[in-house]
Amino acid sequence: MEGKPLDIAVLRTFSPLDGLKKENLNALMRKTVLRELGAGRVLFKEGDTDKRTCYLVSGELQLSTEGRNVTVIRGGSPEARNALAPSQPRRFTARAITDIEYVSVDSDLLDVLLTWDQTGTYEVSEIAQSQSSDSDDWMTVLLQTKAFHRIPPANIQAIFMRMQRMQLRAGEVVIKQGEEGDFFYVLTKGRAVVTRETPLNREGIRLAEMGVGESFGEEALISDARRNATVTMLTDGTVVRLGKDDFRTLLNEPMLHWVDQADAEKLVAAGGKWLDVRLPSEFENFHVDGSINIPLYFIRLKLKALDMAVPYVVVCDTGRRSSAAAFLLSERGFEAYVLKDGLAGNALGARQG
Protein backbone atom coordinates (compact mmCIF):
# COMPACT_ATOMS: atom_id res chain seq x y z
CA MET A 1 0.00 0.00 0.00
CA GLU A 2 1.34 3.42 -0.99
CA GLY A 3 0.28 5.20 2.18
CA LYS A 4 -1.12 8.67 2.82
CA PRO A 5 0.65 12.03 3.24
CA LEU A 6 1.76 12.60 6.79
CA ASP A 7 1.11 15.62 9.00
CA ILE A 8 4.26 16.78 10.76
CA ALA A 9 2.23 17.03 13.98
CA VAL A 10 1.94 13.22 13.95
CA LEU A 11 5.72 12.82 13.89
CA ARG A 12 6.05 15.25 16.79
CA THR A 13 4.07 12.87 19.02
CA PHE A 14 6.88 10.29 18.89
CA SER A 15 10.22 10.04 20.67
CA PRO A 16 12.92 11.00 19.79
CA LEU A 17 11.40 12.65 16.71
CA ASP A 18 9.89 15.36 18.89
CA GLY A 19 13.41 16.56 19.65
CA LEU A 20 14.48 17.09 16.04
CA LYS A 21 14.95 20.59 14.67
CA LYS A 22 12.14 21.76 12.40
CA GLU A 23 14.30 21.54 9.25
CA ASN A 24 15.38 17.99 9.96
CA LEU A 25 11.87 16.88 10.91
CA ASN A 26 10.57 18.34 7.63
CA ALA A 27 13.23 16.40 5.72
CA LEU A 28 12.18 13.20 7.49
CA MET A 29 8.47 13.89 6.88
CA ARG A 30 9.04 14.12 3.12
CA LYS A 31 10.38 10.54 3.18
CA THR A 32 7.63 9.14 5.39
CA VAL A 33 3.97 8.25 4.84
CA LEU A 34 1.08 7.09 7.02
CA ARG A 35 0.45 3.40 6.30
CA GLU A 36 -2.42 1.05 7.09
CA LEU A 37 -2.43 -2.63 8.09
CA GLY A 38 -5.48 -4.85 8.41
CA ALA A 39 -6.47 -6.75 11.56
CA GLY A 40 -4.61 -10.04 11.92
CA ARG A 41 -1.72 -9.06 9.66
CA VAL A 42 1.91 -8.98 10.80
CA LEU A 43 3.89 -5.74 10.84
CA PHE A 44 7.23 -7.49 11.51
CA LYS A 45 8.36 -10.89 12.75
CA GLU A 46 10.68 -12.00 15.52
CA GLY A 47 14.18 -12.26 14.06
CA ASP A 48 13.62 -9.70 11.26
CA THR A 49 16.48 -7.30 10.41
CA ASP A 50 14.47 -4.81 8.40
CA LYS A 51 16.21 -1.55 9.44
CA ARG A 52 12.85 0.16 9.99
CA THR A 53 11.78 2.23 13.00
CA CYS A 54 8.00 1.79 13.40
CA TYR A 55 5.51 3.86 15.40
CA LEU A 56 1.84 3.00 16.04
CA VAL A 57 -0.49 5.89 15.24
CA SER A 58 -3.93 4.30 15.80
CA GLY A 59 -5.49 0.91 16.55
CA GLU A 60 -4.24 -1.97 18.69
CA LEU A 61 -1.20 -4.16 18.15
CA GLN A 62 -0.01 -7.34 19.92
CA LEU A 63 3.67 -8.06 20.65
CA SER A 64 4.60 -11.72 21.14
CA THR A 65 7.70 -13.89 21.39
CA GLU A 66 8.02 -17.61 20.76
CA GLY A 67 4.24 -17.80 20.40
CA ARG A 68 3.62 -16.19 23.80
CA ASN A 69 1.72 -12.88 23.97
CA VAL A 70 3.70 -10.23 25.83
CA THR A 71 1.78 -6.95 25.63
CA VAL A 72 -0.83 -4.95 23.74
CA ILE A 73 0.00 -1.44 22.52
CA ARG A 74 -2.73 1.08 21.68
CA GLY A 75 -2.30 4.07 19.40
CA GLY A 76 -2.13 7.33 21.34
CA SER A 77 -1.06 5.66 24.60
CA PRO A 78 2.18 6.55 26.43
CA GLU A 79 3.66 3.23 25.29
CA ALA A 80 2.99 4.11 21.63
CA ARG A 81 5.10 7.23 21.94
CA ASN A 82 8.24 5.10 21.57
CA ALA A 83 9.30 2.95 18.62
CA LEU A 84 7.78 -0.55 18.47
CA ALA A 85 10.29 -3.20 19.65
CA PRO A 86 13.20 -1.36 17.99
CA SER A 87 15.95 -3.93 18.63
CA GLN A 88 17.48 -5.60 15.56
CA PRO A 89 17.13 -8.52 15.00
CA ARG A 90 13.54 -8.10 16.19
CA ARG A 91 12.88 -9.66 19.60
CA PHE A 92 9.12 -9.74 19.08
CA THR A 93 6.48 -10.36 16.42
CA ALA A 94 4.04 -7.46 15.98
CA ARG A 95 0.54 -8.40 14.81
CA ALA A 96 -2.41 -6.04 14.33
CA ILE A 97 -5.38 -6.83 16.60
CA THR A 98 -7.53 -4.21 14.87
CA ASP A 99 -6.97 -2.25 11.69
CA ILE A 100 -4.02 0.00 12.46
CA GLU A 101 -2.24 3.06 11.12
CA TYR A 102 1.51 3.26 11.55
CA VAL A 103 4.62 5.14 10.49
CA SER A 104 7.76 3.39 9.23
CA VAL A 105 11.02 5.38 9.14
CA ASP A 106 14.36 4.35 7.62
CA SER A 107 16.45 3.64 10.74
CA ASP A 108 19.77 4.71 9.23
CA LEU A 109 18.36 7.99 7.94
CA LEU A 110 16.85 8.70 11.35
CA ASP A 111 20.15 7.91 13.07
CA VAL A 112 22.07 10.31 10.82
CA LEU A 113 19.53 13.11 11.33
CA LEU A 114 19.63 12.62 15.10
CA THR A 115 23.43 12.68 15.08
CA TRP A 116 23.56 15.88 13.05
CA ASP A 117 20.82 17.45 15.12
CA GLN A 118 22.72 16.83 18.32
CA THR A 119 26.01 18.23 17.03
CA GLY A 120 24.26 21.54 16.50
CA THR A 121 26.17 22.34 13.30
CA TYR A 122 23.95 21.06 10.52
CA GLU A 123 20.62 22.18 9.18
CA VAL A 124 18.91 21.16 5.98
CA SER A 125 18.26 24.77 5.04
CA GLU A 126 21.99 25.53 5.00
CA ILE A 127 22.48 23.04 2.18
CA ALA A 128 19.20 23.14 0.31
CA GLN A 129 18.87 26.95 0.35
CA SER A 130 15.31 26.46 -0.89
CA GLN A 131 12.02 25.08 0.31
CA SER A 132 11.27 23.15 -2.90
CA SER A 133 11.04 19.38 -2.56
CA ASP A 134 13.54 18.86 -5.39
CA SER A 135 16.29 20.81 -3.65
CA ASP A 136 16.50 18.68 -0.53
CA ASP A 137 15.25 15.35 -1.84
CA TRP A 138 18.73 14.66 -3.25
CA MET A 139 20.09 14.58 0.29
CA THR A 140 17.75 11.87 1.46
CA VAL A 141 18.36 9.91 -1.76
CA LEU A 142 22.08 9.86 -0.93
CA LEU A 143 21.59 9.23 2.76
CA GLN A 144 19.48 6.14 2.12
CA THR A 145 22.09 4.49 -0.08
CA LYS A 146 24.04 1.72 1.63
CA ALA A 147 27.27 3.47 0.76
CA PHE A 148 26.55 6.47 2.97
CA HIS A 149 25.73 4.16 5.89
CA ARG A 150 29.41 3.18 5.94
CA ILE A 151 30.64 6.73 6.39
CA PRO A 152 31.05 8.13 9.93
CA PRO A 153 28.32 10.72 10.67
CA ALA A 154 30.97 13.36 11.37
CA ASN A 155 32.35 12.82 7.85
CA ILE A 156 28.90 13.05 6.27
CA GLN A 157 28.29 16.26 8.13
CA ALA A 158 31.58 17.70 6.89
CA ILE A 159 30.86 16.55 3.32
CA PHE A 160 27.58 18.45 3.13
CA MET A 161 28.96 21.54 4.83
CA ARG A 162 31.91 21.74 2.39
CA MET A 163 29.86 21.22 -0.76
CA GLN A 164 29.55 24.23 -3.06
CA ARG A 165 26.27 24.95 -4.84
CA MET A 166 26.12 25.86 -8.55
CA GLN A 167 23.16 26.88 -10.71
CA LEU A 168 23.35 25.72 -14.33
CA ARG A 169 21.46 26.33 -17.58
CA ALA A 170 20.17 23.72 -20.03
CA GLY A 171 22.99 22.82 -22.45
CA GLU A 172 25.75 23.83 -20.04
CA VAL A 173 28.62 21.33 -19.70
CA VAL A 174 29.37 20.34 -16.10
CA ILE A 175 32.38 18.11 -16.77
CA LYS A 176 34.10 17.49 -20.12
CA GLN A 177 35.74 14.32 -21.35
CA GLY A 178 39.53 14.58 -21.35
CA GLU A 179 39.79 17.28 -18.68
CA GLU A 180 41.50 16.82 -15.31
CA GLY A 181 39.20 15.81 -12.46
CA ASP A 182 38.84 18.38 -9.69
CA PHE A 183 35.36 17.92 -8.16
CA PHE A 184 32.80 15.26 -7.22
CA TYR A 185 29.24 16.30 -8.14
CA VAL A 186 25.68 15.55 -7.01
CA LEU A 187 22.73 16.66 -9.13
CA THR A 188 20.28 18.43 -6.82
CA LYS A 189 17.78 19.79 -9.34
CA GLY A 190 17.04 19.09 -13.00
CA ARG A 191 18.32 16.39 -15.37
CA ALA A 192 21.63 15.78 -17.14
CA VAL A 193 22.97 13.49 -19.88
CA VAL A 194 26.23 11.50 -19.92
CA THR A 195 27.99 11.14 -23.30
CA ARG A 196 31.28 9.59 -24.34
CA GLU A 197 33.22 10.63 -27.43
CA THR A 198 34.84 7.90 -29.55
CA PRO A 199 37.03 8.06 -32.68
CA LEU A 200 33.99 7.06 -34.73
CA ASN A 201 31.54 9.38 -32.98
CA ARG A 202 32.82 12.87 -32.19
CA GLU A 203 29.33 13.99 -31.16
CA GLY A 204 29.42 11.51 -28.32
CA ILE A 205 27.55 8.30 -27.58
CA ARG A 206 24.67 8.84 -25.18
CA LEU A 207 25.40 6.61 -22.16
CA ALA A 208 22.80 7.61 -19.57
CA GLU A 209 20.48 10.25 -18.16
CA MET A 210 20.75 11.38 -14.55
CA GLY A 211 18.18 12.81 -12.16
CA VAL A 212 18.05 14.35 -8.69
CA GLY A 213 20.32 12.61 -6.17
CA GLU A 214 22.62 10.99 -8.72
CA SER A 215 26.36 11.63 -8.47
CA PHE A 216 29.20 11.76 -10.99
CA GLY A 217 32.84 12.70 -11.43
CA GLU A 218 34.27 10.22 -8.92
CA GLU A 219 36.22 7.99 -11.33
CA ALA A 220 38.76 10.67 -12.29
CA LEU A 221 39.29 11.71 -8.67
CA ILE A 222 39.96 8.17 -7.44
CA SER A 223 42.13 6.97 -10.30
CA ASP A 224 43.97 10.27 -11.00
CA ALA A 225 42.86 9.97 -14.61
CA ARG A 226 41.22 12.43 -16.96
CA ARG A 227 37.43 12.61 -17.28
CA ASN A 228 36.18 9.62 -19.29
CA ALA A 229 32.82 11.18 -20.23
CA THR A 230 31.03 14.50 -20.63
CA VAL A 231 28.04 15.50 -18.49
CA THR A 232 25.71 18.15 -19.93
CA MET A 233 22.57 19.65 -18.40
CA LEU A 234 19.36 18.68 -20.21
CA THR A 235 17.36 21.23 -18.21
CA ASP A 236 18.07 24.21 -16.01
CA GLY A 237 19.19 22.84 -12.67
CA THR A 238 21.55 22.83 -9.72
CA VAL A 239 24.53 20.74 -8.62
CA VAL A 240 26.60 20.67 -5.47
CA ARG A 241 30.27 19.78 -5.71
CA LEU A 242 32.99 18.58 -3.36
CA GLY A 243 36.68 19.33 -3.96
CA LYS A 244 39.15 16.57 -4.78
CA ASP A 245 41.00 16.57 -1.44
CA ASP A 246 37.81 16.65 0.63
CA PHE A 247 36.31 13.89 -1.53
CA ARG A 248 39.29 11.60 -0.98
CA THR A 249 39.51 12.20 2.75
CA LEU A 250 35.84 12.32 3.73
CA LEU A 251 34.02 10.15 1.21
CA ASN A 252 36.33 7.91 -0.79
CA GLU A 253 38.52 6.44 1.95
CA PRO A 254 35.71 5.32 4.33
CA MET A 255 33.81 3.65 1.47
CA LEU A 256 36.63 1.55 0.00
CA HIS A 257 37.44 -1.89 1.39
CA TRP A 258 40.96 -3.04 0.44
CA VAL A 259 41.86 -6.72 0.73
CA ASP A 260 45.07 -8.67 0.21
CA GLN A 261 45.31 -11.76 -1.97
CA ALA A 262 44.57 -14.23 0.84
CA ASP A 263 41.42 -12.41 1.94
CA ALA A 264 40.32 -11.94 -1.67
CA GLU A 265 40.60 -15.66 -2.36
CA LYS A 266 38.61 -16.43 0.80
CA LEU A 267 35.82 -14.09 -0.33
CA VAL A 268 35.66 -15.79 -3.73
CA ALA A 269 35.80 -19.28 -2.18
CA ALA A 270 32.81 -18.31 0.00
CA GLY A 271 30.68 -17.32 -3.00
CA GLY A 272 32.16 -14.02 -4.15
CA LYS A 273 33.30 -13.25 -7.68
CA TRP A 274 36.30 -11.61 -9.32
CA LEU A 275 35.34 -8.49 -11.31
CA ASP A 276 38.02 -7.34 -13.75
CA VAL A 277 37.51 -3.72 -14.88
CA ARG A 278 40.31 -3.53 -17.45
CA LEU A 279 39.75 -3.26 -21.20
CA PRO A 280 38.69 -6.43 -23.05
CA SER A 281 42.08 -6.59 -24.81
CA GLU A 282 43.88 -6.56 -21.45
CA PHE A 283 41.49 -9.14 -20.06
CA GLU A 284 41.98 -11.50 -23.01
CA ASN A 285 45.72 -11.33 -22.61
CA PHE A 286 45.80 -12.02 -18.87
CA HIS A 287 43.09 -12.59 -16.25
CA VAL A 288 42.05 -14.61 -13.22
CA ASP A 289 40.13 -17.79 -14.01
CA GLY A 290 36.40 -17.37 -13.43
CA SER A 291 36.49 -13.57 -13.41
CA ILE A 292 33.90 -11.30 -15.04
CA ASN A 293 35.11 -8.53 -17.34
CA ILE A 294 33.28 -5.19 -17.30
CA PRO A 295 35.50 -2.24 -18.26
CA LEU A 296 35.39 0.67 -15.84
CA TYR A 297 33.64 3.02 -18.26
CA PHE A 298 30.80 0.47 -18.68
CA ILE A 299 30.19 -0.16 -14.95
CA ARG A 300 27.27 2.28 -14.68
CA LEU A 301 25.59 0.71 -17.71
CA LYS A 302 26.09 -2.91 -16.62
CA LEU A 303 24.87 -2.72 -13.01
CA LYS A 304 21.82 -4.84 -13.82
CA ALA A 305 24.11 -7.65 -14.95
CA LEU A 306 25.59 -7.87 -11.44
CA ASP A 307 24.05 -9.62 -8.46
CA MET A 308 23.41 -7.47 -5.35
CA ALA A 309 23.69 -10.62 -3.19
CA VAL A 310 27.22 -11.45 -4.39
CA PRO A 311 30.40 -9.87 -2.96
CA TYR A 312 32.75 -8.67 -5.72
CA VAL A 313 36.54 -8.47 -5.55
CA VAL A 314 37.39 -5.79 -8.10
CA VAL A 315 40.72 -5.99 -9.90
CA CYS A 316 42.82 -4.15 -12.47
CA ASP A 317 46.60 -3.98 -12.99
CA THR A 318 47.44 -1.60 -10.13
CA GLY A 319 44.30 -0.92 -8.08
CA ARG A 320 43.57 2.54 -9.51
CA ARG A 321 40.78 1.61 -11.91
CA SER A 322 39.45 -1.09 -9.59
CA SER A 323 39.17 1.36 -6.68
CA ALA A 324 37.11 3.71 -8.87
CA ALA A 325 34.84 0.83 -9.89
CA ALA A 326 34.49 -0.40 -6.30
CA PHE A 327 33.47 3.08 -5.21
CA LEU A 328 30.75 3.18 -7.86
CA LEU A 329 29.48 -0.25 -6.80
CA SER A 330 29.55 0.57 -3.08
CA GLU A 331 27.76 3.84 -3.76
CA ARG A 332 24.93 1.82 -5.32
CA GLY A 333 24.61 -0.77 -2.56
CA PHE A 334 26.90 -3.57 -3.77
CA GLU A 335 29.41 -5.30 -1.49
CA ALA A 336 32.69 -4.51 -3.24
CA TYR A 337 36.34 -5.01 -2.31
CA VAL A 338 39.53 -3.80 -4.00
CA LEU A 339 42.57 -6.06 -4.43
CA LYS A 340 45.63 -4.29 -3.00
CA ASP A 341 48.37 -3.66 -5.58
CA GLY A 342 46.20 -5.12 -8.34
CA LEU A 343 47.05 -8.05 -10.59
CA ALA A 344 50.57 -6.76 -11.15
CA GLY A 345 51.39 -6.99 -7.45
CA ASN A 346 49.88 -10.42 -6.74
CA ALA A 347 50.65 -13.96 -7.82
CA LEU A 348 47.07 -14.96 -8.54
CA GLY A 349 46.05 -17.97 -10.60
CA ALA A 350 45.80 -15.79 -13.68
CA ARG A 351 46.42 -17.10 -17.17
CA GLN A 352 47.20 -15.91 -20.65
CA GLY A 353 44.07 -15.68 -22.77
Answer yes or no: is 116 within a domain.
no
> Both 18 and 63 in a single domain?
yes
> Both 240 and 169 in a single domain?
yes
CB-count exposure of residue 21 (10 Å: 0-12, 13-18, 19+): middle
User: Of 283, 253, 288, which is closest to residue 273 (Cα–Cα)?
Assistant: 288
**Of 187, 222, 252, which residue constitutes the final position of a domain?**
252
Q: What is the pLDDT of residue 64?
A: 95
Q: For strand 258-259 and strand 93-96, is the pairing parallel, antiparallel, or unpaired?
A: unpaired
For residue 226, how many other CB atoms are within 10 A of its CB?
Answer: 13
> Both 217 and 329 in a single domain?
no
**CATH code, 89:** 2.60.120.10
> Both 239 and 158 in a single domain?
yes
**Of 252, 270, 303, which residue constitutes the final position of a domain?**
252
User: Of 180, 187, 193, which is closest to residue 215 (Cα–Cα)?
Assistant: 187
* Cα distance between residue 317 and residue 194, in whole Å: 27
From first to last of its 353 residues, the chain has per-residue pLDDT tens of 466 888 889 999 998 888 777 877 887 888 888 999 999 999 999 999 888 899 999 999 999 999 899 999 999 999 999 889 888 889 899 999 999 999 998 877 776 666 555 544 333 333 333 333 444 566 666 666 655 666 776 677 778 778 888 999 999 999 999 898 899 998 888 999 999 887 777 777 888 899 888 888 888 888 777 888 899 999 999 998 989 888 888 877 777 889 999 999 999 999 999 999 988 888 888 899 999 999 887 888 888 899 999 999 999 888 878 888 888 898 788 999 999 988 878 777 544 44
Total number of domains in the chain: 3
Answer yes or no: is 181 within a domain.
yes
For residue 227, how many other CB atoms are within 10 A of its CB?
Answer: 20
Q: Which domain holds residue 64?
A: 8-107
Q: What are residue 230's DSSP bridge partners?
A: 195
**Of 224, 252, 280, which residue constitutes the final position of a domain?**
252
